Chain A
Amino acid sequence: MNKMKPLKLLDIARKTGVVTIRYPNKPPLITSEFRGRIVIDASKCIGCGACVNICPSNALTIKETYDKRIINYFIGRCIYCGSCADVCPVKAITITKDFELATDNIRDLNNRVVHYKAVCCRCGSERHAPENMIKFVIRRVPVAETYAHMATNCKKRKFVEGMLHGRGMLYVEAK
């Protein structure tokens, strides 16, 4: 019986055939559920930072400078959870099926979207939010138009002035 064992194995091997996939020569098996890297569509993104808040591994980070807001996507830390695509209010993030991301230079793994901030309409110097975000807010809440173009400090001042004016404590001369 034991002598027959190798023959049996041969029989099994013949029935099973070749199981090895020919990956580099043929495309790999990618199912519809597979999630790869994400891609941020810069023409849609408004720079709100919702994706940065939800990202569990801080693969998406936000950097504020005086006149820019930079959203940085570092592929090397992304866990491909897809939460960012869910929360994006303008659906700017798409989950691709891209997984061939190996590289020998870690800088290759950074993708940046740079937003320029708008100038305050009242003081004309302070910068506050990306232009596209202001437009998005006004489209959603038309009432916000008075305040949306103003930087934070001017917003506060205008609000206080408005209150004082309403109670008759502030007299504004007519032009």
Chain B
Amino acid sequence: MVEGCSMLKPSNMLKKSIWVFHLNTGGCNACDIEILDVLTPYFDVERFGIKLVASPRHADLVLLTGPITRKTLPKVIRTLRAVPRPRLILAIGACAVGGGIWHDSYGVIGGIEALKKVLEEQGVVIDKLVYVPGCPARPEAIIYGVAVLLGIAKPKVKETEVEVIVK
């Protein structure tokens, strides 16, 4: 058990409002616009207690967008280190989840899977990570992602493997 893990139980997490910090790591900005959309009165996530904060030190959840360019990597590590435990991350968009259209470009490290390895080396623990695919992810998809993170909703997608029958 890592320290602070009891906080990770959904029932415990629901007791407090989730404060989010928005971290763009080199995405095209469309995902960021969708995040701003989520915070506008139209989607109004403050009704769920989700609030944008200006400093990672105040945040419970990091909304990470973009494929993590080499230039932003040191800053991303510093930012994530500043987030108090339990450290929750929502990887938003195709870029953050799998590198997106830039997954094999020289300028990026290729999404959150590569970042996880770097963070492990640096000793920064991620307590929970939820992937929200989409390019950009719809505002509803982001809200759904937060629900999955809090354990309110069950993930709908499942890994499938279909063998083709010869006709």
* Real binding pair: yes
Which residues of A are interface residues toward B (Cβ below 8 A)?
19-21, 23-24, 28, 37, 42-43, 45, 47, 56-59, 74-80, 99-116, 130-132, 135
Q: State A74–B98 Cα separation when bound (angstroms).
A: 9
- The answer to whether A20 touches B44, judged by C-beta atoms less than 8 angstroms apart, is yes
Q: List 20 A-B contacts (CB under 8 A).
A: A21-B43, A24-B147, A42-B162, A57-B100, A58-B104, A77-B97, A77-B98, A77-B100, A99-B141, A100-B144, A101-B141, A102-B132, A103-B157, A104-B148, A106-B131, A110-B160, A111-B161, A112-B162, A114-B164, A130-B164
Given A102-B145, A108-B159, CB of A76 within 8 Å of CB of B140: no
Pick from B42, B113, B140, B164: contact of A100, CB under 8 Å: B140
B42 near A19: Cβ-Cβ < 8 Å: yes
The one of B47, B135, B159 in contact with A111, judged by C-beta atoms closer than 8 angstroms, is: B159
Chain B contact residue count (CB 8 A cutoff): 46
The A-contacting residues of B in range 117-144, CB under 8 angstroms, are 128-135, 137-138, 140-141, 143-144
> Do most interface residues of chain B lie in helix, strand or loop, or is the interface mixed?
mixed
- Give how many A-B residue pairs fall within 8 Å (CB-CB): 136
